[in-house]
Amino acid sequence: MEQLSPAYFSAIATQTGNIAAFLGGFAATYLATLLTLTKPSRIASITIGCAAIAAICFIISVAAATTLVAMLHPEAPAHIADNGVLLPRVLMALPFALGMCALLGSIGASGWLRSRRTGWTTSIAAGIGLVAILPLIVG
pLDDT digits (tens, 9 = 90+) for 32-79: 999 998 788 999 999 999 999 999 999 999 999 998 988 887 766 666
Please list, in sequence order, all residues whose beta carbon lies within 8 angstroms of the beta carbon of residue 107, skipping any fewer than 6 positions away. 122, 125, 126, 129
Exposure class string for 15-49: b at 16+ Cβ within 10 A, else e: ebbebbbebbeebbebbeebeeeeeeeeebebbbb
pLDDT digits (tens, 9 = 90+) for 68-119: 988 887 766 666 666 777 888 899 999 999 999 999 999 999 999 999 999 9
Q: The domain 6-138 is classified under which CATH number: 3.30.559, 1.20.1070, 1.20.140, 1.10.3470? A: 1.20.140
Q: What is the chain's length?
A: 139
Can you give the pTM of this predicted structure?
0.88
> What does the angle CA 73 – CA 97 – CA 90 come to, to the nearest 5 degrees?
45
In the chain, what are the domain boundaries? Answer: 6-138
Give the C-alpha distances (Å, rounded to integers) separating 23 from 19, 41, 74, 136: 6, 25, 29, 17
